[in-house]
Amino acid sequence: MKPTAFDYYAPSTLKGVLELKAQHGEDAKPLAGGQSLIPTMNFRVTQPSILVDLNAVDELRFIEGKDGDLRIGAMTTQNVVERSELVSDLQPLIAETIPYVAHPQIRNRGTFGGSLAHADPASELPAIALALNAKFKAVSLSGERWVEAQDFLITMFTVDLQPDEILAEIAFPNFPKTTGWSFMEVSRRMGDYAMAGVAALLSLDAAGKCEYARLVYLNVGDKAMDAVNAAGALVGEEINEESINAAAEIAGEEEIDPFGSVHASPEYQRHLSKVVTRRALREAHQRASNSVK
Ligand code: FAD
């Protein structure tokens, strides 16, 4: 199918984009990499009357580090983030996760901000942005505001952006070198959307017990699912097979809410979530142990 008719604008400045958003609001849909938007337009699920192409706006493409914090411009392609040494140095979880996002051809066009603004619960980037306590910079002609990840990612395909705003930048706070990390997912083929996946973070105290844990899941609910009880059950404990299994059970049975699909029933997604939890916690624990030696 072909999309319905639309007007097309390609401003070369952020101000030009924001003027169009101020004038047309929700009717003016930002076009980033087009890897999600264009298919939905072709299926006529989305029928914007105006497309505002962000690709000529160079000021939205950057990767910067300051005092351990990492800032990524919304229009930076996933491929550029994947190859950035600064990203792998400051935020290894991002570097390790990006190759799971679709295929290289899609990451060449798909943008970091586009995936986050799209907020597909099956996507990897919302889950890791939540796990890493990212902050989102929304801008309009009236100014800018920063939104915490848990507030920005409202629900499936819905984020905290007003009709006159766009997402300009995503900031990641300093990632302590003593934190162990892991990203694990299971998909039918490399590059497919995962049937279930998890981002795990873990740090240990001087006695080797868990002092911090985070478990955030993808594609097992209406948004990235933050399993706070499972992570909380690990804190103060030795990390061993018993505590790892207990956390996997809490997350898989009580905290996620999978819908199921043609590829996996909800029961199978719960099973996979427990499997990836165990694998991810073992790897995060290993990395945390290495860092405190
Ligand atoms: P677009 O498609 O251009 O935009 C998506 C939405 O976000 C639109 O509503 C648009 O208006 C809005 N938007 C974009 N940028 C902004 C902004 N700066 N401010 C406000 N709103 C904005 N993704 C995964 O995570 N995992 C996968 O495994 C995966 N597999 C895929 C497989 C295929 C075959 C395809 C085609 C895509 C796949 N994707 C997957 C999606 C891909 O990662 C997209 O790149 C991503 O979802 C959207 O990024 P984009 O830059 O293409 O955004």
State pLDDT tens for residues 202-221: 999 999 999 999 999 999 99
> How many angstroms separate the alpha carbon of residue 107 from the centre of ligand 1?
9
**CA 84 to each of CA 70, 102, 111, 133: distance values in angstroms, whole numbers, following the listed order:** 11, 18, 14, 20
Give me the residue label for tokens 């996507």. 123
Ligand 1: which of 9, 17, 36 to mutate, most ligand atoms within 8 Å of CB? 36
Which segments within the chain are labelled E, that is strand?
7-9, 28-31, 50-53, 63-66, 69-73, 135-140, 143-148, 153-155, 158-159, 166-172, 180-186, 196-204, 210-218, 225-226
Whole-angstrom Cα distance, residue 270 to residue 257? 8
Residue 171 has pLDDT above 90, yes or no: yes
pLDDT, tens digit, 9 for 90 and up, residues 80-123: 999 999 999 999 999 999 999 999 999 999 999 999 999 999 99
Phi, psi of 215 (to 5 degrees): -135, 115
pTM, two decimals, is 0.97
Ligand 1 centroid, distance to 6 Cα (angstroms): 19
Determine which residue's CA is closest to atom 39 belonging to ligand 1: 102
Q: Which strands, in side-by-side order, build the sheet including 135-140?
A: 63-66, 69-73, 166-172, 135-140, 143-148
For range 192-200, the mean pLDDT = 97
CA distances from 13 to 26, 56, 57, 59 (A): 19, 7, 5, 7
- Mean residue pLDDT of the chain comes to 97
Report the separation in Å between the CA atom of 247 and the middle of ligand 1, taken as the mean of its atom positions.
32
Residue 69 has phi, psi (to 5 degrees) of -80, 150
- What residues flank ligand 1, with Cβ below 6 Å? 29-37, 54, 74, 101-102, 106, 110-111, 113-115, 117-118, 120, 123-125, 161, 166-167, 193
Q: Which amino acid is at 68?
A: G
Q: Supply the residue whose CA is at minimum distance from atom 53 of ligand 1.
A: 114
Residue 184, pLDDT score: 98
67 — pLDDT class (breaks 50, 70, 90):
confident
122-126, 152-156, 175-179: least confident range: 175-179
Q: Whose CA is nearest to atom 15 of ligand 1?
A: 114
- pLDDT at residue 293 greater than cutoff 70: no
